[in-house]
Structure 1
Amino acid sequence: MSEQRECIVVTGASRGIGAAIALALAQQGRHVACFSRSGALPACPGVPAEVSARWIGAKADVTDPAALAAAMRKLADEGWRIKGLVNNAGVHLDGPSAEISLEHWQEVMDTNATSVVSACQAAYPHLVATGGGMIVNIGSFFDKLGVKRNLAYCASKAAVGAITRCLAVEWAGKGIRVMDVAPGYIVTDLNADAMAAGGPLRAYLDKRIPGREPGTAADVGALVASLFTPAGGFLTGETIYIDGGQGIAH
């Protein structure tokens, strides 16, 4: 590329919430480097060609720090200026707390928390070189709840909030803002059957969510994209819960 253009890196961008985030950012007119293990572009049917043309496919396993750093260096070598990062990739494993293995614990922590640190470290020199930018980490409202069979997952998402606060304070002088977006129950292509009306999970959510409806991946995508506009210019270090009020409902 002869001229440098700006892009935002989104991890886990091929499906679900990550794809919705990549779509919302592209709809803003931004170029999005879509990181995933497969390197596939977001699975978003019916997207206009002028929007999907803003996606850049990239293969990177978030649990491999060297792969993350290499993928970001490749973007820079191709003339892209990295101005933002969305750490969306994650895994959800559950099991009885008295019985989960250390391997279970490590897989969840590595994918959901350690990878956030690795990606932020990989992006840091690029963000500094471009005069700063925004990092958005995708947490969960489970970070403040005691959830049976979710010891590792809840701990990993609480760590995301702590990582966000620490980096926001430490990197503010470099013009880097860091936010944590923490969804509640969100319907995606991965869980649509379980979330369908009439099922036991949906019946539970109808009682627990004040508005009686779970959120959508597009809801999360729109919120994340808004943080990359002037509206998010003085926000940093905070956790924004997007859970329809479920986490505060008594």
Structure 2
Amino acid sequence: MTETRTVAVTGASRGLGAEIALELARRGLTVGCLSRKGIGPEEEPVPDELAGRMINLACDVNDPESGAAALAALVETTGGLHALVNNAGIHKEGRSESFSPAEFAEVLNTNAVGLFAMCQSAYPHMIASGGGVIVNIGSHYDKIGVKYTAAYCASKAAVGAITRCLGVEWARKGIRVVDVAPGFTLTNLNRSHMDNERFRSFIEKAIPRGTPGEAWEVARFVGSIVADDIPFLNGETFYIDGGQAVAN
């Protein structure tokens, strides 16, 4: 067991993944920032006091060998792995009657199969560290019907199912698995959506507080799950959508 707990975050270069990585570093964890480029958060300079806690590693979640190698390198550097945040994912839209099966498979391969492979790669390291927690980033799209997003919705429903199965299967090994499912959350990748008057009006009506989520809000929730280490918290999907689902 290392003196400082180590967490790996996939898709840590931009958007929600970068915010989660920074939040975990603020909480004193050593953070493996996994991304295709392997250069860590890209959108803003990382404060010096956090940079020392962040280890940047190249990782493509679509390549199981790449994911396994990144986690092995992180463990070799830090001495252990205590948490994994599966954030990497893609979103593609298209009319279902013409959306190609190849594109459908691409979304599922990245968001569900890649996530499952990362869980598998983390398993032996967490066993060696005496247990840990896996936080899968899902979506509230897992339970609603949304036009043109059949592949994405299916992939996030799969994330919930994988979470439940692994949570049950690995509990006695000291490994807990949870699913954090955000509603519409602003990042630098999607902030321009709010410039569309029709979309902005929908969000203002759909979310009780009248505004979408911010990346720091989801990151803080993920940070509390990882840093506070609550042993009885396992197998569930936690929706963080500002009350949108219950209001509609």
Q: TM-score, normalised by structure 1?
A: 0.95
Is 1:173 the equivalent of 2:175? Answer: no
Deviations 1:158-193 (A, max 9, x none): 000000000000000110010000000000000111
Name the Cα RMSD after superposition. 1.5
Give 1:45 deviation, angstroms: 2.9
Alpha-carbon contact 1:7-1:32 (below 8 Å) kept: yes
Give 1:47 deviation, angstroms: 4.2
Give the aligned partner of residue 181 of structure 2.
182
Deviations 1:111-159 (A, max 9, x none): 1000111000000000000000000000000000011111110000000
Is 1:120 the equivalent of 2:119? Answer: yes
Q: Distance in 2 between matches of 1:162 and 1:33?
A: 26
Alpha-carbon contact 1:5-1:81 (below 8 Å) kept: no
Alpha-carbon contact 2:27-2:227 (below 8 Å) kept: no
Correspondences of 1:71-110 after superposition (within 5 Å)? 71-110=70-109
Q: 2:201 aligns with which of 200, 203, 211?
A: 203
Identity of aligned residues (%): 51
Give the aligned partner of residue 236 of structure 1.
234
Q: Distance in 2 between matches of 1:189 and 1:35?
A: 19
Q: Which stretch of structure 1 is more off in the superposition, 79-88 or 214-223?
A: 79-88
Give 1:48 deviation, angstroms: 2.7
Residue-pair matches, total: 247
Q: Distance in 1 between matches of 2:229 and 2:243?
A: 22
Can you give the 5+ residue segments of structure 2 that lack an aligned partner in the other structure? none
Alpha-carbon contact 1:4-1:80 (below 8 Å) kept: no
Give 1:4 deviation, angstroms: 7.0
Alpha-carbon contact 1:14-1:42 (below 8 Å) kept: yes
Give the aligned partner of residue 36 of structure 2.
37
State the one-letter code of the partner of 2:91.
H
Alpha-carbon contact 2:4-2:29 (below 8 Å) kept: no
Alpha-carbon contact 1:214-1:244 (below 8 Å) kept: yes
Q: Secondary structure at the match of 1:70?
A: helix
Q: Distance in 1 between matches of 2:139 and 2:225?
A: 17
State the one-letter code of the partner of 2:84.
L
Correspondences of 1:108-147 after superposition (within 5 Å)? 108-147=107-146
Can you give the 5+ residue segments of structure 1 that lack an aligned partner in the other structure? none
